[in-house]
Chains A and B, each alone.
Chain A
């Protein structure tokens, strides 16, 4: 499983968090606590029509994650 997860590094991931924000970026790093680091990430808000806001490099603690998807 760890090897499979390693192969997903550098792919585009979409992370949805508790306050309904969605982050789309490249998975750069994770650890045993499942903290997710995305680079070149954009932030989207549900219900807002405008394009995402670029936020750069972010770390999403697992406790806030509702859904993690990979492209």
Chain B
């Protein structure tokens, strides 16, 4: 009996003794009050009591299984694993496979020694030739251990805190081991033992499932190998092998759904039996085809991550970001975390370059600005006489400012910008919004540092220096566009705001086009060298993209203005408040403290002026249109 012996039944006593209490009176132990009582979980309330459920059906982990049933179980193990990667808790996914909780029961020694004859013989006896017990004690055991080890290795990567626990992934282990203390090499040896048996066993009848089981174990083995290898070492052969395994599995037989007795090995309500303080909903497993696609996507992305290591081109990194992937199974937290570790591990970019490479490469690719130009010029040339002196030592003060600017741009802004794309979209949007003021300050500092040079030795250096603030402004405008568009993606805007948001987007893209024009004109004055040609090509592509996007934004603006999706009447005073709330990032105090005005900020009077201009356009006087704003 739980709690042991020595308990006395006081049910009747409790009933009688509380009759003498006053209504509302509490009897409590010392130090315990009503406030403490309020956080108690109410038993039998389904919102709080995680233990309410029918007991699970009986399950014997050593029940003999057919080869097709073991195949089916291994498929479920991959499905549960992918579900965990998509954001569900372990208690909703991996732990629902009851073999996870009975590893000791299925790990039996294969042989035992007869103490009379001293001959060894098989430990297990099974008369069912269609269901050899090795399928459980070797094959399934290896598969389950492999599953837990893969989860453990992924857990360790995610525990580095690149992403947010509770938002991107669920770290809670609910008191169940993920084989943390078991070496991966031991688990690989279990898989090897199972593979050897599958290939040679005479007790396994000639079965079409033999190849299926072998392929699934091979996939698990290569999965562990890839997780173990650091990203610094190329493992393309291993990834290629994983790809081939998956394709063989997909091309092979699909195991049928097994009978109920075998289905009892899955308990979707297992969380109600684990140490859990909040009821979790039952996760629905994705179809197996989606699981294999997810693993294929996993392999592809792994290749992409390895390919960017040591790349010399920054925009190649952006091309492979998959930030706009909309299926959670194809953009798992693990790979995003690996990507962040690869991009910046605290000391190097892409495991190869120093952090200063980032700013140099950005300036070179966008505007053919030579590396280290800021600090080089600061070292060589004195300040203009009529400008304030930064420090008593003129050149070292200038150097310090230039260094400070370069460091800020690199580590605080550029790293955060690239890394933001590996976060989930709402968090990425927040990070980008919070960075806008810093970008503006960076732009201002760059303009100030460059203005301080007394004399420039050559036109080329002068042109290159003048392009630095333009590059920074170009990046900032890119970020603002990303913020506006992600707001549509995340459905943040009310319908009556759509016209206004597209209007602002078209304004931002107009500014972007203007910045690109200025960069182009400056570059066209330079000598025709490779860097300049590459930068001009980049700008040309960006111009086409920006003009196209601006035309789309203008079209959407006109359409939603003429045919508003919502007929909400907005008072002018309310419109001001709504505008400042929608663009609250543009109204924070830091901007008023900066010496330079933010030319790209949203301005309500400009929006109102644009609306007024539409009123004189004939189509807006059409009786069928309904403009939802009262004009001032």
Contacts and interface: CB of A to CB of B under 8 A. Distances in A.
Interface in A15-65: 17, 19, 21-24, 26-34, 37, 39, 42-45, 47-48, 52-61, 64-65
A46 to B, nearest CB: 9
Given A21-B51, A54-B275, A71 B9 contact: no
Contact of A1 (B13, B36, B273, B277): B13
Contact of B15 (A23, A34, A61): A34
A14 B9 CA distance: 9
B289 interface: no
B58 to A, nearest CB: 10
**B: interface residue count bin:** 35 or more
Given A31-B21, A45-B55, A70-B7, A5 B2 contact: no
B28 A59 contact: no
Contacts of B19: 32
B40 A57 contact: yes
Contacts of B275: 53-54
B616 interface: no
Given A29-B32, A32-B21, A8 B10 contact: yes
A14 B27 contact: no
Given A4-B17, A22-B2, A68-B10, A32 B43 contact: no
B11 A67 contact: yes
A24 B41 CA distance: 15
B8 A69 contact: yes
A19 to B, nearest CB: 7
Most chain B C-beta atoms within 10 Å of own C-beta, residue among A1, A61, A67: A1
Contacts of A1: 13, 16-17, 20
B18 A12 contact: no
Contacts of B29: 9-10, 26-29
A55 B41 contact: yes
Given A5-B18, A34-B18, A68-B9, A59 B26 contact: no
Interface in B5-63: 6-11, 13-30, 32, 36-37, 39-44, 50-52, 55
B3 to A, nearest CB: 4
Given A32-B23, A53-B274, A14 B3 contact: yes
Contacts of B8: 69-71
B40 A58 contact: yes
A2 B98 CA distance: 47
SS class of chain B's interface: helix, strand, loop or mixed? loop
Contacts of B37: 28-29, 37, 59
B43 A23 contact: yes
A67 B10 CA distance: 8
Contacts of B22: 32
Nearest to A18: B44
B44 A61 contact: yes
Interface in B253-294: 273-275, 277
A58 to B, nearest CB: 5
B44 A64 contact: yes
A29 B43 contact: no
Contacts of B28: 9, 28-30, 37
B17 A14 contact: no
Contacts of B44: 17, 19, 61, 64
A2 B20 contact: yes
A67 B24 CA distance: 24
Contacts of A29: 26-29, 32, 37
Most chain A C-beta atoms within 10 Å of own C-beta, residue among B27, B41, B274: B27
Contacts of A43: 51
A14 B51 CA distance: 17
A39 to B, nearest CB: 8
Nearest to A34: B18
A1 to B, nearest CB: 4
Given A5-B27, A22-B2, A55-B51, 4 more contacts: A4-B13, A9-B29, A59-B43, A61-B43
Interface of B: 2-3, 6-11, 13-30, 32, 36-37, 39-44, 50-52, 55, 273-275, 277
12 contacts: A5-B14, A14-B3, A21-B51, A34-B14, A39-B32, A55-B51, A59-B37, A68-B10, A69-B9, A70-B7, A70-B8, A70-B10
